[in-house]
């Protein structure tokens, strides 16, 4: 959570679904944008390797990620210039039944785990159908 975030500018959906899940502003989980950038790149690419990113409706998430560094060309070389789209993959593999959303949906870690569970279902479905690897 960025110390530069202004909750007064949050839209209704964010106020209802996200803000109640955030810790108090005095909590040590809050970081400057520079700290978030540094910790994120160390988490995603601890050895400097290129990574692949996936998300459900990824376009806005990728824009928000890129904005941590400024313009898109400023992204570190380890990060891709796009995030792969789980929702599109779901269509491509035939829309298999996916796990229900977790009770703590809209918590970033819970959502990431849920997206990983979705991806595993889709990969298994793709293998059973004999679809080519991505």
CATH number (domain holding residue 69) = 3.30.420.10
Task: Check residue 48 and give its pLDDT.
Answer: 95
The answer to whether position 19 is within a domain reads no
Residue 51 near residue 78, CB atoms below 8 Å: yes
3-state secondary structure 80-116: CCCCEEHHHHHHHCCCCCCCCCCCCCCCHHHHHHHHH
Q: Which domain holds residue 51?
A: 31-129
The answer to whether position 13 is within a domain reads no
Task: Check residue 69 and give its pLDDT.
Answer: 95
The answer to whether position 92 is within a domain reads yes
DSSP state, 1?
A: -
Task: Check residue 134 and give its pLDDT.
Answer: 57
The answer to whether position 8 is within a domain reads no
Q: Is 79 exposed, middle or buried (0-12, 13-18, 19+ CB in 10 A)?
A: buried
pTM: predicted TM-score of the whole model, two decimal places: 0.79
The answer to whether position 18 is within a domain reads no
Task: Check residue 70 and give its pLDDT.
Answer: 92
- Report the alpha-carbon angle 59-130-124, nearest 5: 60
The answer to whether position 107 is within a domain reads yes
Q: How many domains does the chain have?
A: 1
Task: Check residue 22 and give its pLDDT.
Answer: 87
10-residue averages of pLDDT along the chain (134 residues)? 89 90 86 94 96 92 92 92 95 96 86 95 91 60
State how far the Cα of 16 lies from the Cα of 128, in Å rounded to an integer.
40
The answer to whether position 14 is within a domain reads no
């Amino acid at each position: 959570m960025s110390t530069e975030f202004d909750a007064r500018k949050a839209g209704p959906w964010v106020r209802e679904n996200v803000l109640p899940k955030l810790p108090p502003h005095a909590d040590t989980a809050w970081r400057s944008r520079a700290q978030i950038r540094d910790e994120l790149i160390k988490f995603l690419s601890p050895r400097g390797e290129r990574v692949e990113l996936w998300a459900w409706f990824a376009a806005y998430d990728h824009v928000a990620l890129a904005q941590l560094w400024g313009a898109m060309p400023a992204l570190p070389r380890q990060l891709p210039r796009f995030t792969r789209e789980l929702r599109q993959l779901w269509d491509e593999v035939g829309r298999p039944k996916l796990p229900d959303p977790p009770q703590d949906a809209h918590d970033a870690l819970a959502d990431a785990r849920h997206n990983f569970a979705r991806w595993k279902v889709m990969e298994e479905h793709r293998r059973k159908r004999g679809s080519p690897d991505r």
